[in-house]
Homo-oligomer: A and B are copies of this chain.
Amino acid sequence: MRLEDLGEFPLIERLTAGLESRADVALGIGDDAAALDLGADQLLLATCDAQVEGTHFLPSVATPEEIGHKALAVNLSDIAAMGGEPLWALVSLLAPPDLDVAMLDGVYSGMRALARQFNVALVGGNISSTPGPLTLDITALGRVARDRVLTRAGARPGDRLLVTGRLGAAVTALLAYTDADHAALPAEAAAALGEARRAMVTPQPRVREGQALAATGQVTAMLDISDGLAGDLGHLCQRSGVGALVELAALPVDGATRTLAQALGRDPLGIALTSGDDYELLFTTRPGGVTAALEAVRAVGGVATVIGEITDVASGLRVRAQNGKQLALEARGWDHLRPHTTPADEPPDVGAP
List chain A positions with a Cβ less than 8 A from chain B: 1-4, 6, 8, 11-12, 14-16, 19-22, 24-25, 28-29, 33-34, 36, 38-40, 42, 44, 46-50, 52, 54-56, 87-88, 90, 92, 94-102, 104-105, 108, 112, 115-116, 119, 121-133, 135, 137, 139, 141, 143, 336-339
Contacts and interface: CB of A to CB of B under 8 A. Distances in A.
B44 A129 contact: no
Contact of A15 (B16, B105, B143): B105
The count of identical subunits is: 2
B131 A54 contact: yes
A116 to B, nearest CB: 6
Contact of A123 (B36, B42, B99, B338): B36
A118 to B, nearest CB: 11
A127 B46 contact: no
Contacts of A4: 97-98, 129
Among A40, A92, A128: residue with most chain B CB under 10 A: A128
Given A52-B130, A54-B131, A88-B25, A20 B121 contact: yes
Nearest to A122: B19
A349 to B, nearest CB: 27
A76 B19 CA distance: 18
A129 B336 contact: yes
A67 to B, nearest CB: 14
Nearest to A132: B132
A20 B336 CA distance: 34
Contacts of A141: 36, 44, 46, 141
A264 to B, nearest CB: 25
Contact of A125 (B29, B44, B52): B29
Nearest to A139: B139
A24 B287 CA distance: 39
A220 B94 CA distance: 33
Given A33-B124, A94-B135, A127-B11, A38 B48 contact: no
A137 B126 CA distance: 10
A336 B135 CA distance: 15
Contacts of A47: 90, 124
A105 to B, nearest CB: 7
Nearest to A134: B132
A50 to B, nearest CB: 5
22 contacts: A3-B95, A3-B98, A11-B127, A16-B108, A16-B122, A20-B115, A28-B121, A28-B122, A34-B88, A46-B90, A46-B123, A46-B139, A48-B90, A50-B92, A52-B128, A52-B130, A92-B92, A97-B338, A97-B339, A128-B135, A129-B337, A132-B133
